Chains A and B, each alone.
Chain A
């Protein structure tokens, strides 16, 4: 097995964007799924209560393919990932706009739960909001693997919305 990272290796240093800002931040994990959009709504309410700002976090998972895979195939998968990311983010932004709220956007590359948990360690972060089930969850499960894993890893408060 070969691990191909889609996109740049370095994470977006989101804190640079708001250097000196003392405002607390709520991270909202989005993947375009319905529960993640409910999460956006809940996060807007929380952000009003806490006078916090919002950051939409989209994590692009690594593409895992056997070494024999054509570079062309990998490139197509990475393109598809990028399209999914921008669709998910624009759905989330539409929900924000309907509520008169706004948010910054952070795109990460890596394992979703781990990446979000890492980002949440930043001092500015109050907590994380995540939908109970994302796109990849089976319909019969009550809790998706990302939400489950995040709540085990994250040191900050996690709100799981369904």
Chain B
């Protein structure tokens, strides 16, 4: 296993997923990509507040900030970590990037920002495990 993809949304579980993957990647000398996915906005196409592009761009900026904080909190320098923020439907985007770029493993937090508290497993993690052809590590 040489390339790990971690879905990060800034939630506690996603940060734990990053930690778990880093602990695996360091001894293996593996490369880690942290992926923040902005779900595309719908229904605001009338341009009530701001054009969609602008909203997406600011969400991507926010994602980059979240990722930078996660990387800084790790305090590791030996590891090769690439933060990346993109717009797209979260599960499909994660699955297709993992497949297209030949990642060996996808890691995800069990409940993300969107999950209802009582859920033991968030919808993104659940669908990801069902759709992914790659091994998926679910971290709580």
A residues within 8 Å of B by Cβ?
42, 45-46, 48-51, 127, 132, 142-143, 147-148, 151-162
Contact digits for B22-40, partner A, Cβ 8 Å, 1 yes 0 no: 0111011000000000000
Closest to A157 in B: B139
Selected from B105, B121, B129, B140, the residue in CB contact (under 8 A) with A156 is: B140
Could you say which of B20, B120, B129 has the most chain A C-beta atoms within 10 Å of its C-beta?
A: B129
The size class of the interface chain B forms with chain A is 20 to 34
**Contact present for A159 and B140 (CB under 8 Å):** no
Known pairs A143-B129, A152-B121, A157-B140; A50 contacts B135 (CB<8 A): no
**Contact present for A160 and B135 (CB under 8 Å):** yes
State how many angstroms separate the Cβ of B71 from the closest Cβ of chain A.
Answer: 20
Q: Which residues of A contact B134 (CB under 8 A)?
A: 162
**Contact present for B129 and A159 (CB under 8 Å):** no
CA distance A154 to B121 in the complex (A): 10
State how many angstroms separate the Cβ of B64 from the closest Cβ of chain A.
Answer: 26
**Contact present for B24 and A49 (CB under 8 Å):** yes
State how many angstroms separate the Cβ of B130 from the closest Cβ of chain A.
Answer: 5
The main secondary structure of chain A at its interface with chain B is: mixed
CA distance A156 to B140 in the complex (A): 6
Selected from B23, B27, B105, B131, the residue in CB contact (under 8 A) with A142 is: B131
Selected from A45, A143, A155, A162, the residue in CB contact (under 8 A) with B140 is: A155
Closest to A132 in B: B129
Q: Which residues of B contact A154 (CB under 8 A)?
A: 140
Q: Which residues of B contact A143 (CB under 8 A)?
A: 129-130
Selected from B24, B125, B131, the residue in CB contact (under 8 A) with A50 is: B24
- Tell me, yes or no, whether B52 is within 8 Å of chain A by CB: no
Closest to A38 in B: B135
Question: 8 other contacts beyond A151-B110, A159-B136, with CB at 8 A cut-off?
Answer: A46-B24, A49-B1, A49-B24, A49-B28, A51-B27, A142-B131, A157-B140, A159-B138
Closest to A51 in B: B27
